[in-house]
């Protein structure tokens, strides 16, 4: 069983740089395909950032490209969502997801419960 637990959200000033994290248990996180998602109007969830198992390939949503990335600490079985220059409209619950399937796209079988990031301005 793989479990994902997000934390590190909270109230952040516009322009700030929060760094929520996602800790995996039940499997070595570095071997999994990983991504971060958030709700969007008219959609269940939209992609924020994602990567293949090694981090060698990444896809970053156009709206956050150049500001968001997905660093990791393999020694802690943890990935992060580094958000720079955060905008007010990016207030959302951010979800961590992972899967054992190869590649950089496809299903995600494992989801965390999300961490709320609220941007003040």
Which of 24, 35, 81 minimizes the C-alpha distance to 59?
35
How is residue 99 written in tokens? 């899967």
pLDDT score of 18 more than 90: yes
Average per-residue pLDDT for the chain: 96
- C-alpha distances (whole Å) from 36 to each of 64, 72, 102, 121 are 12, 13, 17, 24
Reported confidence tier of residue 121, pLDDT bands at 50, 70, 90: confident
Upper half-sphere CA count for residue 108 (Cβ side, 13 Å):
23
pLDDT score of 28 more than 90: yes
Mean pLDDT score, 59-67: 97
Mean pLDDT score, 36-45: 92
């Amino acid at each position: 069983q793989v479990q994902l637990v997000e934390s590190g959200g909270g109230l952040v000033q516009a322009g700030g740089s929060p760094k929520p994290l996602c800790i995996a248990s039940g499997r070595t996180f570095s071997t999994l395909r990983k991504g971060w998602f958030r709700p969007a109007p008219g959609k269940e969830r939209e992609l924020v950032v994602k990567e293949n198992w090694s981090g060698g390939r990444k896809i970053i949503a156009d709206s956050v490209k150049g500001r968001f990335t997905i660093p990791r600490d393999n020694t802690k079985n943890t990935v992060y969502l580094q958000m720079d220059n955060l905008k007010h409209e990016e207030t959302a619950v951010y979800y961590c997801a992972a899967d054992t399937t190869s590649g950089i796209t496809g299903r995600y079988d494992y989801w965390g419960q999300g961490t709320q990031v609220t941007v003040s301005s």
